[in-house]
Amino acid sequence: MYKLIDGKEVSNHVKTKVREEVDALKEKGIEPALAVIIVGNDPASRVYVNNKKKACEFTGMRSVEYAMPEETTEEELLSVIDKLNADDSINGILCQLPVPKHISEKAVIERISAKKDVDVFSAENVGKMWQGDYDMASCTPMGVIELLDYYGIDVCGKNCVIIGRSNIVGKPMASLLLERSATVTICHSRTKNLSEITSKADLIVAAVGRAKFVTADMVKEGAIVVDVGINRNDDGKLCGDVDFENVKDKCEFITPVPGGCGPMTIAVLMKNTLLACKKQNGII
Q: Residues 3-17: pLDDT tens digits?
A: 999 999 999 999 999
> Please, are residues 144 and 264 in contact by the beta-carbon 8 Å criterion?
yes
Q: Is residue 181 part of a domain?
A: yes
Q: Is residue 276 part of a domain?
A: no
The pLDDT assigned to 235 comes to 84
Q: Is residue 200 part of a domain?
A: yes
Same domain, 101 and 188: no
Same domain, 230 and 184: yes
Residue 1's CB: how many other CB atoms inside 10 A?
A: 6
Q: How many domains does the chain have?
A: 2
pTM of the predicted structure, to 2 decimals:
0.96
SS3 category, 135: coil
The pLDDT assigned to 1 comes to 86
φ, ψ for residue 231 (rounded to 5)?
A: -135, 175
φ, ψ for residue 128 (rounded to 5)?
A: -65, -35
Q: Residues 228-274: pLDDT tens digits?
A: 999 988 888 899 999 999 999 999 999 999 999 999 999 999 999 99
> Please, are residues 175 and 144 in contact by the beta-carbon 8 Å criterion?
no
Examine the residue annotation and report whether 52 is marked as an active-site residue of this protein: yes
Q: Is residue 57 part of a domain?
A: yes
Same domain, 81 and 151: no
Task: Determine the Cα–Cα distance for residues 206 and 12; give it in Å rounded to an integer.
Answer: 23
CATH number of the domain at 38, please.
3.40.50.10860
Residue 282: in which H helix or E strand, if any?
A: none
> Mean pLDDT in the chain?
97
Q: Residues 63-96: pLDDT tens digits?
A: 999 999 999 999 999 999 999 999 999 999 999 9
Which residue, among 225, 144, 218, 219, has the nearest Cα to 179 in the 3D structure? 144
- Domain residues for the domain of 256 are 139-262
- Long-range contacts, 16-25 (Cβ 8 Å, 24+): 18/59, 18/267, 18/270, 18/271, 18/274, 19/58, 19/59, 19/60, 21/274, 22/59, 22/60, 22/61, 22/274, 23/60, 25/274, 25/277, 25/278, 25/281, 25/283
Same domain, 99 and 60: yes
The pLDDT assigned to 80 comes to 98
> Please, are residues 68 and 36 in contact by the beta-carbon 8 Å criterion?
no
Q: Is residue 206 part of a domain?
A: yes
Which residue, among 180, 85, 87, has the nearest Cα to 137 in the 3D structure? 180
Same domain, 80 and 148: no
The confidence band for 126, taking pLDDT boundaries of 50, 70 and 90, is: very high
Task: Determine the Cα–Cα distance for residues 185 and 231; give it in Å rounded to an integer.
Answer: 24
Same domain, 250 and 215: yes
Same domain, 183 and 110: no
Same domain, 108 and 180: no
Q: Is residue 151 part of a domain?
A: yes
Q: Residues 136-173: pLDDT tens digits?
A: 999 999 999 999 999 999 999 999 999 999 999 999 99
Examine the residue annotation and report whether 119 is marked as an active-site residue of this protein: yes
Task: Determine the Cα–Cα distance for residues 161 and 174; give it in Å rounded to an integer.
Answer: 9
Same domain, 172 and 220: yes
Whole-number Cα distances in Å, 248 to 4, 194, 221, 231, 261: 9, 19, 10, 18, 16
**Whether residue 172 has a cis bond before it, omega within 30° of 0:** no
From 6, 115, 117, 119, the catalytic residue: 119
Same domain, 36 and 88: yes
* DSSP line for 177-209: HHHTT-EEEEE-TT-SSHHHHHTT-SEEEE-S-
The DSSP output letter for 119 is T
Q: Is residue 132 part of a domain?
A: no
Which residue, among 110, 146, 135, 89, has the nearest Cα to 266 in the 3D structure? 146
From 52, 128, 212, 248, the catalytic residue: 52
Beta strands in 172-284 (DSSP E): 183-187, 203-206, 223-227, 231-232, 238-239, 251-254
Q: Is residue 91 part of a domain?
A: yes
The pLDDT assigned to 233 comes to 85
Examine the residue annotation and report whether 131 is marked as an active-site residue of this protein: no
Residue 64's CB: how many other CB atoms inside 10 A?
A: 16
Same domain, 79 and 176: no
CATH number of the domain at 214, please.
3.40.50.720
Same domain, 158 and 254: yes
From 6, 96, 271, 280, the catalytic residue: 96
